[in-house]
Amino acid sequence: MTANANVPILYLTKDSKQFALTLPAMAKNGELKALQYANLSNNLSIAKKLLFDKFTTHKASLEHFDITISIDETLTHLALAQSIEEVMGIEGAFAKRYFAHYFSLFEKSLTKGFRSKNPPLDPINAMLSYIYTLSYYAITAKLYMRGFDPSLSYLHTPLRSHFALSSDLLEPLRASINCFVAELFLKQILHAEDFTCKNGVYLKYDTRRQLWTHLKPFMNSLNPQINRQIVMLKKNLEKNDALL
């Protein structure tokens, strides 16, 4: 029934490390995959577009909480970058600066003040990783259904079962996720006691069920942003292909 309705289903373990994705039957769309391959040599220009969007959306997300940062120097360095390695270095420096401001929004009982994952070490990082993961798989499902190969990427390096293109498209969307997570704690929808602390910090199962009333509308609101990123990616691939 879900396949007939073009509805993908994601099965995810408690720690989000194991998953299964059930998808409806789809056209192979070989032309689009060929376009992806052809653009691998143009990965730098596509990566720069993705990170330009990331930097601007993250700046705006902090302004939502009355925090102002300058990204002028970051954007200048991005424009002048000559390699993916250099671009990733710029992104890493920006992320460190961004999260220093972001984590300052919360009480010390909720965060250690830095980004942690595999495992997350505090409730804020646990929620960031949890919703990043859900969004990553939502992007993966949409890429498959649109005929893309999610393993062919332009910013992140594909590794084993990693859908690197999904990670690429997630970058500009992280700001929206960060804002949502912040609101969950600042509005006291979530509290420190909603998390377990065994081999990392994770949201309790019962709390996940209660959170669904807030999470479902947010994930629905993220869908248009995901669709927009996929449309923009296809346009950039077609534009670059015309120049090859």
What integer pLDDT is reported at residue 26 of this predicted model?
60
- For the residues 88-115, what does the mean pLDDT come to? 98
Q: Is pLDDT of 89 > 50?
A: yes
Q: What is the CATH number of the domain that holds 34?
A: 1.20.120.920
**Is the pLDDT assigned to residue 27 strictly greater than 50?**
yes
Number of domains in the chain: 1
Residue 169 lies in a domain: yes
Asked, for residue 53, whether it belongs to a domain, the answer is: no
Helices (H) and strands (E) in the chain, counts: 8, 4
Q: Which amino acid is at 23?
A: L
Instruction: Tell whether 151 is covered by a domain.
Output: yes
Degrees, nearest 5: CA angle 44-229-6: 130
Residue 104 located in a structural domain: no
Mean pLDDT of the chain: 91
Question: Is residue 110 a contact partner of residue 122, using CB atoms and an 8 Å limit?
Answer: yes
- Examine residue 49 and state whether it is found in any structural domain, yes or no: no
Sign of CA dihedral 183, 111, 103, 158: negative
Instruction: Please report whether residue 80 resides in a domain.
Output: no
Share of the chain above pLDDT 90, in %: 83
In a domain, 69, yes or no: no
Which residues span the domain enclosing 133? 9-42+110-243
pLDDT at 210: 92
On whether residue 32 sits in a domain, the answer given is: yes
